[in-house]
Amino acid sequence: MKGNNNTKRSVAQIAVDAILEQLDKGVSPWHKPWECGAPRSYDGRIYRGINRFLLGLAPFDNPVFVTFKRAHELGGTIRKGEKAMPCFFWHVPKPELVIHNANTDEDEVVQKGEPHFFLRYYQVWNIAQTEGIPADKIAKVTPKRYEHQPIAEAEAIWDGFADKPALVANGQRAFYVPAKDSITVPPMSAFADREEYYSTLFHEAGHSTGHESRLNRKASDLFGSDSYGREELVAELCAAILCGECGITRTLANSASYCENWAKAIRKAPANAVVSAASAAEKAADYILGRAEAKKEVA
């Protein structure tokens, strides 16, 4: 189904809202040091532009997408209740339209002017949201995988996290879900550098310390808010501290860049906010390490 600019929201706003919806769930696409394969159509064509970015945020293991019509042409269907994602394109109508006037027996130009670009979109579903499509009709995606030996010191930190949340280490994204008290991260083999795996794991572990059963940090779920930005700083600084504890230093450049982005997102007194976040991050790291210095924040 194609959208148009006559809808209540502009197509551009639909694109922005779709990205923010994923960011609100804790997905940070600029901090993604793992391999998951570029999103593509059923025949292997890789999406470009904003579609590569947006569909890359989708929480599916197989980055292949189809339209409703294509799913039926391939012999399957979209499962009932599955939510589509928008896929955007630029439509360029012809600058002029010539028709034949039967009354005058002459050709007439009914539309003139320079070509205009109009942003349009159609809907796609991930292959995991379909049923009945034969596997041999879908492009096979094999993300690059790496062989790593675990870092003993980092494993000891995670193992020593006394009341750690449940861990799902085979995801396409990295995020913490407070309602389930669970962390999802990609497998270590998806990371070119094993150090980045532990940095990612420790970042989400940092978030988990804010749970009410642990340090009880109060943070807004609203993307871009001061408290949301502060919480991201806390989690990344906590990860940097824990990485330092086990001798991991190669991730510091990424952590610094990530923290800088979120420091800029905090609108009021960013310097003080970073100092406050660093203090909270130290408490979070102490909690994970089982040190007595960690205490719950006052509500």
- 235-244 pLDDT, tens digit per residue, is 888 988 898 8
262 and 214 both lie in a single domain: yes
Indicate the SS3 state at residue 229. Answer: helix
Instruction: State how far the Cα of 173 lies from the Cα of 184, in Å rounded to an integer.
Output: 7
Instruction: For residue 157, name the pLDDT band (cuts at 50, 70, 90).
Output: very high
Q: Give Cα separations from 142 to 64, 190, 219, 243 (angstroms).
A: 11, 11, 38, 30
pLDDT in the model for residue 14: 72
Tens digit of pLDDT for each residue in 64-79?
A: 999 999 999 999 999 9
Same domain assignment for residues 122 and 162: no
Q: What is the pLDDT of residue 296?
A: 58
Over its C-alpha atoms, the chain yields an Rg (Å, rounded) of 24
pLDDT at 145 over 70: yes
Q: How far apart are CA 28 and CA 263, in angstroms?
A: 15
Which of 104, 137, 170 delimits the end of a domain?
137
Q: Which domain holds residue 128?
A: 11-137
Question: Is residue 281 included in any domain, yes or no?
Answer: yes
- Residues 90 and 56: their CA atoms lie apart, in Å, by 20
Is 145 among the domain residues? no
Task: Using the 3D structure, point to which of 112, 137, 162 is the last residue of a domain.
Answer: 137
Whether 87 and 190 share a structural domain: no
The residue type at 271: A
Total tally of structural domains belonging to the chain: 2
- 129 shares its domain with 158: no
Which has the closest alpha carbon to 284: 169, 187, 157?
Answer: 157
Instruction: Give pLDDT, residue 165.
Output: 97
Confidence of residue 39 (pLDDT cuts 50, 70, 90): confident
Q: Report the distance separating Cα 294 and Cα 287, nearest Å.
A: 5
Does residue 27 form part of some domain? Answer: yes
Domain match, 158 and 132 both? no
Domain assignment of residue 1, yes or no: no
Residue 4 lies in a domain: no
Q: pLDDT band for 36, please (50, 70, 90 cuts).
A: low
Residue 269, phi-psi category: left (phi > 0), alpha (psi -120 to 50), beta (remainder):
left
Residues 6+ apart with CB under 8 A from 249: 243
Q: Name the most confidently modeled range: 96-100, 163-167, 228-232.
A: 163-167
The candidate with the shortest Cα–Cα distance to 148, out of 174, 169, 172, 167, is 169
- Per-residue model confidence (pLDDT) at position 69: 94
Any domain includes 296: no
Can you tell me the mean pLDDT for 33-39?
72
How far from 221 is each of 96, 174, 209, 225, CA to CA, in Å? 49, 17, 16, 8
- Which of 81, 109, 137 represents a domain boundary (last residue)? 137
Listed residue (233, 275, 283) closest to 257, CA to CA: 233
Instruction: Using the CB atoms, write b or e for 44-74: b if 16+ within 10 Å.
Output: eeebeebbebbbbbbebebbbbbbbebbeeb
Low-confidence winner among 119-128, 212-221, 278-287 (lowest mean pLDDT): 212-221
Q: What's the rounded Cα separation, in Å, for the pair 172 and 186?
A: 5
Is residue 229 located within the same domain as residue 185?
Answer: yes
Which is nearest to 177 in space by CA: 207, 157, 202?
207
The verdict on 170 and 117 lying in the same domain is no
Whether residue 108 is found in the same domain as residue 172: no
Same domain, 194 and 101: no
Are residue 80 and residue 202 in the same domain, yes or no?
Answer: no
What average pLDDT does range 217-229 have in this prediction? 56
Q: Give yes or no: residues 187 and 264 share one domain.
A: yes
Strand ranges inside 169-239, DSSP E: 175-177, 182-184
Question: Which is more confident, 267 or 50?
Answer: 50
pLDDT in tens, 81-102: 999 999 888 776 665 666 656 6
* 3 domain-assigned: no
Picking from 135, 146, 121, the residue whose alpha carbon sits closest to that of residue 55 is 121
d(CA 127, CA 149): 33
Structure token pair of residue 119: 């942003």
Q: Is residue 143 part of a domain?
A: no
Dihedral of the CA atoms 199, 203, 205, 208 (nearest 10)? 180
User: Between residues 175 and 96, which one has the greater pLDDT?
Assistant: 175
- Residue 279 and residue 156 in one domain: yes
* Paired strand residues for 41: 65
